[in-house]
Structure formats: structure tokens, C-alpha cells
Amino acid sequence: MKMLIGILSLSVAITGYADTLRLTNGKELTGTVTSYANMTFEVSVEGGGKIRQPAGMVKSIEFAPRSVKLDARGRAPVEGKLTAFENSAFVITTTDGKTETVSAIMVAGVTFGGCGKKINLIKNPDGDSRKYLVKDQITLVYYYTPGLAICKTVANDLEKIAKEDSDVYLQKIELTSLTTIYAKKNNIIKVPRTEVYDRKGKAVDAVVGAGIDAVRTYINIAKEAK
């Protein structure tokens, strides 16, 4: 089943739920796999909760792209990009470009990279929008109003980018009104609005309304910024 993103009263930081676990009972679980040890996966899910899922009950896992280090029994650790978990084995593309399949029973533990928070939801923002920029990340500051269909569509596109691109962090800022002190101070006169900042916090450009292709272009510019 697909897990919905929970919203807390003031602001809430959430993990980008990008891994899909298909269980042997036919169900699906969406979350972020954060560890593996003793033949058990630990998965972060909605609301900050964690689920422990025995490997024997997992048919397959579709992982979001990220680096891992497998502590394999009887051999040197295996490092690279995790592709999948299937047929009770991890499939990994090693740092030298080779594809290896390592049986789960032979893996003592896995260190997962890129499990940090990728999406942050902010309600009742205050101060200057630059306070929400993330150091050493390309930050997308997204302003939206709840209930607007176009805002939901753009949000879905931006969340997909944040989950798939390890360089991107998404700050979703909810504005129930464009007449608030915050909106006026930061010159937000129309939503949805997506601002793109490079790793040093320099503004690249902004997109008002739909325009995901333009956002992707500005992200690429941000990546090339010195």
C-alpha cells in the first residue's frame, strides 16, 4: 500500500519515501530502507515511524538510487550503487562498474547512503526565505496554497525530482494567504512558485505556475555553478 505523508501542526520534516517493498503476501510497502542486519530490513515510514521487515517476507525491493556498503561474510565489503533486492539477494553495481549479486544470508549488514531527509514541509513560515536553504544542497523552495489542483501537480513533480536526485532538497512552504507578513516580505504574489538555489545559496531563477522542465533546467545550471 502507498503511505501518505503526515502533517504536523507547525512544521514537519519527512523522509522522501522512495523505496517500494513488495512482500510475499502480495502487499506493497512504501518507505525508506535505512538499515539491514540479522536478515531484517528497517524501514522508515509515515510520521517518523519504523517497521522491521524480515527478509524472508520480502519478495523484492525497488530502491531509490543511492550508494551502499555491504558487509559480506567471508569477503571484503562490497561498495557501489544498490539496484534491487530480489530472489533473496542484493543486486549492486560496484564502483568499478560490475554487477554483483550477493545472497542476503551472506550479508551481515548494509550501510545505506542517501537516507537523509529530502523533503521538508513548513507551515506558518516566518522571517526571510533564505533561512530555509540547505547547506551544500541545491534547494528548491516551493510555495503553494492547499487545495489548488495546480499546486498539487507541481508538488508531485518536485517531490519526484527530490527523491531521484541526491543533490536536490525540497522545501515546501505552505501559504494559506498571499497577504501574510511572510508572503509580503518575500514578495510572493502568486502560487505555485518554485525558487531554485545553488549549493552556495545563490538564487538561480524562479518558476511561477507549472513549468517542471524549466525547473530541471535551473537545477542543471545550479549544478554547474562554481
Alpha-carbon gap, residue 92 to 201, rounded angstroms:
34
Coil, strand or helix: which one is 222?
helix
Question: Which CATH fold would you assign to the domain 119-224?
Answer: Glutaredoxin (3.40.30)
- pLDDT above 50 (res 95): yes
Alpha-carbon gap, residue 13 to 34, rounded angstroms:
16
The total number of residues shown for the chain amounts to 226
Q: Is the pTM of this model over 0.85?
A: no
Residues of the chain within CATH 3.40.30.10 domain(s) are 119-224
Task: Convert the pLDDT of each residue in 124-163 to its tens digit.
Answer: 898 888 888 887 789 999 999 999 999 999 999 999 998 8
Residue 22's pLDDT band (boundaries 50, 70, 90)? very high
Distances (CA, A) of 100 to 86, 107, 144: 12, 13, 44
Residue 172's pLDDT band (boundaries 50, 70, 90)? very high
Alpha-carbon gap, residue 186 to 74, rounded angstroms:
58
